[in-house]
Amino acid sequence: MKVELTDDLETCRHLRRRVFIEEQGVSEAEEWDGRDPEALHVLGWQDDRPVATARMFIEGDTGKIGRVCVLRSARGTGAGAAIMRYAVDALRERGIAKAKLSSQVQAIPFYERLGFTAYGPEYTDAGIPHRDMVLEL
């Protein structure tokens, strides 16, 4: 799998539309929050086909990873882990002290396998139960 930082927002948004809006029922208003231009975007490719993406914001010594998605056809192939490892490494290279994310509750075990720890109460975001998670870098 090839993973890279990208300026190809159209492809990232296409993947997010398929996963979050079409598959999970997130509203367009919630998904398109207007923050994409200020984010760093990661794109993952399998067999020359884009299959996964995430975005990152750097706020002080913290990197916030979000909008992590993998096309259904690529789930279970390691694409999600590859995207996350790349994002975490990109934050480390920038001297960031910790990575945070907001995980759908059903995805917490995935992020725990990558070293993240859940904290705080469960809450609803876009109609989906979430918890915050952190990884010290």
End-to-end CA distance of the chain: give it in Å, rounded.
24
pTM over 0.75: yes
pLDDT, one tens digit per residue, over 121-132 is: 999 999 999 999
User: CATH for 2-136, among 3.30.470.10, 3.40.50.10310, 3.10.129.10, 3.40.630.30?
Assistant: 3.40.630.30
Domain ranges of the chain: 2-136
Element (H, E) at 57: strand 49-59
Give the Cα separation of 35 and 65 in Å (integer).
13
pLDDT, one tens digit per residue, over 4-29 is: 999 999 999 999 999 999 999 999 99
pLDDT, one tens digit per residue, over 40-82 is: 999 999 999 999 999 999 999 999 999 999 999 999 999 999 9
Give the Cα separation of 58 and 137 in Å (integer).
14
